[in-house]
Every structure is written in structure tokens, then in C-alpha cells.
Amino acid sequence: HEYRSLRGERFLTAEEKQLISDWVDQGMPEGNPADNPGLPNFPEGSQIGEPDLVLSMPEPFLHEGNMTDQYQVFVIPTGFTEPTEIAAVEVRPGNATVDHHALIGYTDNPSVIAQAQALDAADPNPGYESFGDYGVDVSQFLFGGWVPGTPPLEFPPTIGHVAQPGSHLLLQMHYGPSAVDAMDQTEINVFFSEAPIQREVETFIMNPAHLDGGWGSFVIPPNQVTTFHGSMAIPQDMSLISVTPHCHLLGQSWEVFARSPDAQDTIPLIAIPEWDFNWQGLFTYPQMIHLPAGYVVEAYCSYDNTSDNPFNPSDPPEWMTWGDFTTEEMFVLFLQGVPYEEGDEDISMSVPNEHTVVVYRDNNLFPAWPNPAAHSEVTIGFHLAEAGKASLALYDMQGRLVKQWLNDEGLAAGHHLGTHDLSGLPSGTYVYRLQAGQGKPLSRTLQVVGR
């Protein structure tokens, strides 16, 4: 199947890898400083505006410098006293040197909250250790998340989460290996919905109950590669927002797609040919995907339980079954979406516009779409805090101007969205830069492929 692009993809083309390799072989010479377009803008506090609420880990956590990964869950009360409609959740990492990625679970079940608090109390450190999940049965496994390079997900108007009074968030932090002790106190920015939520985001879960042989078939023999197939019918027309495959250290690959009941139509969803547990994440689409009622989501996951797998927790390999621990395995697929409405496919989840913003106090330059760009045009949006002249241009990695899309054009304050020409450009990495008035230039990268 031909799989689609995802928001916040992080990769280098073969040409870019060769360019870096050649540069290293040449002694890494510095280019002309005058041609440097400048660093991208990395805003502090928030990428998307002023949050309505900032939640924090209850106390700082010390990640020991022993060169090992650590998964720690922190129990954070929302403090809500009434149902609260949420348009966006943004993780703000507290220590970029060790914060690898984060997942946010949600629960308003008093029993589950008590279980999480008991786990927290039993751990001598802040929070509690939990490998791969939250250690308790949360209501929403993916209330939010963060991996480096991925922008926060802002739901379109009338779509979002509804948090109940007394609810709690469970923040699972993955801390990467470090040679020195490091402190972290990550924060969560919460943005309330300006428009009433009409469609609440739902999570659909595929697990071993959906395997061809059911729960009892999820057994991974030693010394072989085993592939499992799961299938789950879509009960109603659905607009898919994100997909999240999940397994542990034996995981080798995932392939997920939806097929029509007559098997004449296939909708590719995600392919991960080389699974890496430490790089798992919540994968969102640039635009919502329509999954018609009656379509069946198919998922294939392969597990390498041999000595050739350097991540195998057992030496020699042993029989592996379901469980939360490192020495156990999982087969889980999370699908997030809302009931389908006509036109959902045209709603961009990647480029904010006047219908999707929350709050912007300063100038903002938004992610390009599509990115990577395989065609002759790209759509770029930006926000101007005040009226004035603005320039938008594209530079190559040598700092040379290759496209001047806007040149000191007088624009009103607010959001601007335009489609811009990419014709004649070779494949590679480029930087598009916004200069608004006398303000600081804002830059982002753009991948051009297939030229």
C-alpha cells in the first residue's frame, strides 16, 4: 500500500544524508555567514498562544545519570469543578536534554485515580515507574502527547475533549539515557474551547481480543519471528484524527489499513517497517481521514523473539505473553476520531486558519502543508499580531534566496493563508522565513521530494 504523510515527520532524504556525509568528509567547512537565513524560531512557554490553564508535575523529578531509560508517570489533578471543554493540550518539556517523549492519559474514575495515587505513594520518587503504559486503566489513553519536532494538536472548532470535575491527568515521561543527573518538571498547557464542543474525540482500541485466534492466541514462541493479525469493524462513519500502534521490545514492524467489506477499497493508515519502542508516539494526520461504516481496520504486527533482536529482554529467548512489564508484550492499536460529517476531509489539522486558532499574542509562522512537498505548490499560514508589511521567502540550506513569495506586502493583523509556487526546485531541505515589520524573523524547514 502507498502510505500517507503524517504531521511532524522527522526524516532526511538520501540526498540530504549524502550532502551531510560529503560535508563531514570535507572537514565541515563553514559557509558564507552572510548567506545564513538564521535559526528557526523556538518559542518559549507555548507554540500556539496563551494557555487558559497551566498544569505542572507536582514536584521536580531527578533522572539519575546512569545511562538508562526511565518511564515515570506523574498524577496531576485538573482542579476542574465543572465540565470543561478543551480545544488543545500542549506538553512543555522541562528539560530538553533528557525529555524523550511524553504521553498524557485522562481519567475521572475515582477508583482509578485512587489506584494511581497508591502507586505514586508506594514509589519513593515523585510519580511511579510504569513501562509502556500508565499502570492503571485510564479512560483516555491519548489525551495528549509530545515528541520532539511535532507541533501540538489543535482540534478544529466544535471538536475536542470534555474533562469532568475531579478528573486527573497521568503524565508518562520517557527520560532518555544520561551520563549526569538531570532535573525535570514538565508542564501541560491547556486551551479551552471557544466554541461549544459538538463532537467529543473518541478512542477506539484494538487488542488481542481482535486477533484471529482471540486473547488466547497472543503467545510468542522463542527463537522465531511471529506475526499477528487483528481486525476491527468500524460501526459508524468516522473521521480519523490519529493512530497509535503500541507494543514492547520484541516489536519488529506494524502495518495498519482499512478495507471495504467487499475488499475492493483499501485506505492505508500507517506503516512502521522498523519498530523502535523508544520512538513510539501519537501519529496524527494533516487532514482527517473518512472511514466509512462497515469498513474493517486491519493491523499486522511482527515480533522478533530471537537472539538476533538486540532489544530482546530474555537471553536466551523465552516464551512471551501479554503484560505491562519489560519482560512481557502487548498488541494494541489506538484510533482517535469523531463521528463523520461531510467536509471533514477538507479540514486541515496542520495549518491553523481563522477557524482553528485558539489565541496568538505574537507573530506566528505555521507548519507548511504538505511537508514533505511532492508537488509544485505548498500551503503556508502565518499570524500577524498587528497590521504592517510582511515578506515571505524560501531559502536553500546555503542561505540562497530561491523563492520570494511576499515582498514587503501590506497586510492586516490576523491570520493569512496562501498557496505558493515550488516549481523548478530540486529535492532537498529548504527554510521558509517570515519577516513582519521590524520583528524577529520566523523560520521553519520544508522538505521538497520527488523532483
pLDDT in tens, 385-444: 889 999 999 999 888 999 999 999 999 887 788 889 999 999 888 899 999 988 888 888
Write down the pLDDT at residue 213.
Answer: 93
Cβ contacts of 227 within 8 Å, gap of 6 or more: 300, 301, 302, 303
Write down the pLDDT at residue 155.
Answer: 87
Cβ contacts of 440 within 8 Å, gap of 6 or more: 41
C-alpha cell at 25: 568528509
C-alpha cell at 106: 485522562
Task: Report CA 294 to chain centroid distance, whole Å.
Answer: 28
Phi, psi of 208 (to 5 degrees): -60, -15
Q: Is 17 helix (H, G, I), strand (E, B) or coil?
A: helix
pLDDT digit string, tens, across residues 259-285 = 999 989 999 999 999 998 877 777 888
Q: Kindly list the strands in the beta sheet with 224-233, ordered across the sheet, starting from the edge strand earlier in the chain.
A: 224-233, 296-305, 251-259, 266-272
- Distances 40 to 53, 94, 120, 168, 433 between C-alpha atoms, Å: 27, 20, 39, 35, 8
Cβ contacts of 438 within 8 Å, gap of 6 or more: none
d(CA 254, CA 261): 22
d(CA 163, CA 320): 37
d(CA 451, CA 434): 25
pLDDT confidence of 374, banded at 50, 70, 90?
confident
pLDDT digit string, tens, across residues 239-258 = 999 998 989 899 999 999 99
d(CA 280, CA 264): 31
CA 149, 155, 160, 164 dihedral sign is: positive
DSSP string of 109-124, one letter each residue: -HHHHHHHHHHHHHSS
- Whose CA is closest to 245, among 270, 220, 214? 270
- Whose CA is closest to 171, among 198, 195, 202, 138? 138
Mean pLDDT, to the nearest integer, of 13-41? 85
d(CA 286, CA 348): 6
Amino acid identity at 386? E
d(CA 101, CA 147): 5
CA atoms within 13 A on the CB side of 304: 16
* Residue pointed to by grid coordinates 461531510: 342
* Domains along the sequence of the chain with CATH: 53-197 (2.60.120.310), 203-339 (2.60.120.230), 364-448 (2.60.40.1930)
Instruction: Specify the DSSP element, H or E, that contains 447.
Output: strand 442-448
Alpha helices by DSSP H, listed for 57-152, are 110-122
d(CA 147, CA 152): 10
Looking at the DSSP bridge assignments, the partners of residue 396 are 430
Is pLDDT at 348 greater than 80 in this prediction? no
pTM for this model (two decimals): 0.65
- Distances 70 to 42, 98, 144, 180, 250 between C-alpha atoms, Å: 26, 10, 20, 14, 18
Please answer whether residues 414 and 383 qualify as being in contact, where contact means their C-beta atoms are separated by less than 8 angstroms: yes
Is pLDDT at 33 greater than 50 in this prediction? yes
Amino acid identity at 154? E
Looking at the DSSP bridge assignments, the partners of residue 237 are none
Please answer whether residues 383 and 364 qualify as being in contact, where contact means their C-beta atoms are separated by less than 8 angstroms: yes
DSSP string of 375-389, one letter each residue: SSEEEEEEEESS-EE
pLDDT digit string, tens, across residues 36-74 = 777 666 566 787 888 999 999 999 999 999 988 899 999
